[in-house]
Structure 1
Amino acid sequence: MNLRQIETFEAVMRCGTASRAAEVLGVTQPAVSRTLGELEQSIGFPLFARIRKRLIATPEARSLYEVVKSAFDGIDVIRGAAARIRDQGSGEVRVASLSAVGHSLMPKAIAIFQKRHPSTRITLLVLPSRDVRDLIASGEFDLGLAADLIDTTNVVHETFLARDALCVLPAGHELSSKAVIAPMDLDGVPFIAYLPEDRFRQRVDAVLTAAGAVPKIAVETALAPTALALVSAGVGATLASPHAISGFDQSKIVVRPFRPGVEARVLLLLPSDRPKSQLVRDFIDALMAAR
């Protein structure tokens, strides 16, 4: 017994005649008859009585057909699932993001993605970059965006964003009259800094130190939205990436270019132990379109 014989038997039972089954299968009627004969020899009992050049199904054939039909129904289910996976992916995308883009760029990307995949469920967690990296390295999440301060061992990574930071001031700040902020403008000025281990903080410190500027550190924080909220409350100035600022209420802040430039970088992370699904590829395309 082989699959071709079973397919022929199923077609004859479904179509009612050998000639119609031959048309469906794209073979000749003699080929159908020959294949049925081979199947009968294989299983050891007759499936059809040949009466007046017609094939009449035996009771044994009808019993066998019930089993075959169930099997073919299962194959149809598999085909349908394969088609859905081809067209829509596995049905879920799990994304983790640092806060600097998790409240600004990421919602735009999700909106773009859902226009193409409206039925796909998305899980989004906004976390510190180290936690984003851990979720991707463990394979629990499909992709992530993180600051470049992380350990990139055991993750696939590439630069997703690299933009010069902007200076953010409280509304009405004395420096808001300047078109461009320089390092010495921040000398002695209350300043919201990131944590010392943050690579962006280290790049900012290097630029300030080279110019001889020493801001008055008012608060150290790990997250850009927190730094911006502190600026909005009048606590001090800060430097932040354009993508972090774009998702923030700018009614109580003033944004100015900062020279020389200090680059803020975001990495795209993927698990290292599995290929990208079509859904993940499409989500990455949405992220690129949202930049």
Structure 2
Amino acid sequence: MNLTVRQLQTFREVMRSGSISEAARNLGRTQPAVSSMIAGLEDELGFSLFDRGPGRFLPTPEALFFAEEAEAILLRIDRTRANLRSLSAHNHGRLKIASHPAASGIFVPRILGEFLRGKPDVEATVMMRSSAVIEDLVASQQFDVGFAETPEPRNSIRQEDFELEHLCAVPENDPLAEADEITPKDLHGLPMAALFDEHPSFVQTSAAFASQNCALKRRFELQTFLPGLTLVASGLCYMICDMITADSYLHAPPTGPKVVFRRFRPRIASGISILTPAHRPVSLLTTEFCRQLLEEVRRLENRMAESL
């Protein structure tokens, strides 16, 4: 049996209107065209749908049954069309996002909030994980998007890489807040907050101080940069941190003492990447979110460049 949507729509209109001529007017077709469509439908079904005679055009019992089936099919088609339109407009579906700690508190949720505005049928999972774990989650195809420190390339991951400059965090009322740039000589022997020894940012910071024969005094050893900004605001130390942490702080500044950010020279930078699974198709919803995330990273660079 090879039924078409147009046959079902025509039959439904004939049943609703009660005549071929009225259905033809409602559908904007000729009466012979509607009669031919119904006759073809009857041939396909193998039984008559209407009892025809002089002054008589009545649906058969089979037509009454088939009308319910046709209506259910057409309603399902209409729902499917609406859902597909919703998908193409990125208004339906689910996103699974894994973010490294620096971006998980404010940066990624802020972008996600903007992206989901007006999309009540989109559900999202947002998990904070270390960059190494995010890499594995995306490589194993368990998450749609990863936002993490740049990993080594893998066949199982597509990645969009960026290099973001690190900035020096200084208490707002500190004399160094007046400087345009801060160097290791400015921080020689002063208390610092920094990440653990193995982290690339600490390795680069140590190398920068060593290159100018300056002492790096790490008073506070941290797992992530964000707690260090509270210590900087309290006047206990200085800190060289990633740009995303700095941007997140500026979007949600505390009510107490504040921190300002200045360029640090020699330049220190860290790699950040948008990761997606390589072994399965990326949904339209995921593609659009990644595009917005990419644009926001670029806007971040421009905002910071203008503010420094």
The answer (yes or no) to whether the contact 2:42–2:48 under 8 Å persists in 1 is yes
- Structure 2 gap ranges (5+): 301-308
Q: 1:197 to 1:90 in 2, by over 3 A?
A: farther
CA–CA distance in 2 between the matches of 1:39 and 1:238? 77
1:206 counterpart residue number:
207
Q: What is the identity, as a one-letter code, of the residue corresponding to 2:74?
A: F
Q: What is the identity, as a one-letter code, of the residue corresponding to 2:283?
A: S
Q: 1:152 to 1:222 in 2, by over 3 A?
A: farther
CA–CA distance in 1 between the matches of 2:222 and 2:135? 19
Q: 1:42 to 1:268 in 2, by over 3 A?
A: closer
CA–CA distance in 2 between the matches of 1:129 and 1:97? 8
2:133 counterpart residue number:
131
CA–CA distance in 1 between the matches of 2:26 and 2:203? 71
Q: Deviations over 1:218-240 (max 9, x none)?
A: 33323121332343455532201
CA–CA distance in 2 between the matches of 1:234 and 1:92? 44
2:279 counterpart residue number:
273
CA–CA distance in 2 between the matches of 1:118 and 1:15? 38
- Structure 1 runs (4+) deviating above 6 angstroms are none
Q: What is the identity, as a one-letter code, of the residue corresponding to 2:84?
A: A
The alignment yields a C-alpha RMSD, in angstroms, of 3.0
Task: Say how many residue pairs are matched.
Answer: 289
The answer (yes or no) to whether the contact 2:166–2:241 under 8 Å persists in 1 is yes
Q: Deviations over 1:26-74 (max 9, x none)?
A: 5432233234334434444322121226532112221222222222222
State percent identity of aligned pairs: 31
2:32 counterpart residue number:
30
Q: TM-score under structure 2 normalisation?
A: 0.79
CA–CA distance in 2 between the matches of 1:98 and 1:136? 13
Q: 1:226 to 1:44 in 2, by over 3 A?
A: same
The answer (yes or no) to whether the contact 2:90–2:288 under 8 Å persists in 1 is no
2:191 counterpart residue number:
190
2:290 counterpart residue number:
284
CA–CA distance in 2 between the matches of 1:42 and 1:255? 75
Report the Cα offset of residue 215 of structure 1: 0.8
1:14 counterpart residue number:
16
Matched, 1:97 2:93: no
Q: TM-score under structure 1 normalisation?
A: 0.83
Q: Deviations over 1:102-121 (max 9, x none)?
A: 33433432342233535533
The answer (yes or no) to whether the contact 1:112–1:286 under 8 Å persists in 2 is no
CA–CA distance in 1 between the matches of 2:179 and 2:212? 18
Q: 1:27 to 1:54 in 2, by over 3 A?
A: farther
The answer (yes or no) to whether the contact 1:13–1:65 under 8 Å persists in 2 is yes
CA–CA distance in 1 between the matches of 2:68 and 2:120? 38
Where 1:188 maps in the other structure, the secondary structure is: coil
Q: How does 1:220-259 map to 2 (within 5 A)?
A: 220-248=221-249, 249=253, 251-259=257-265
CA–CA distance in 2 between the matches of 1:171 and 1:51? 94
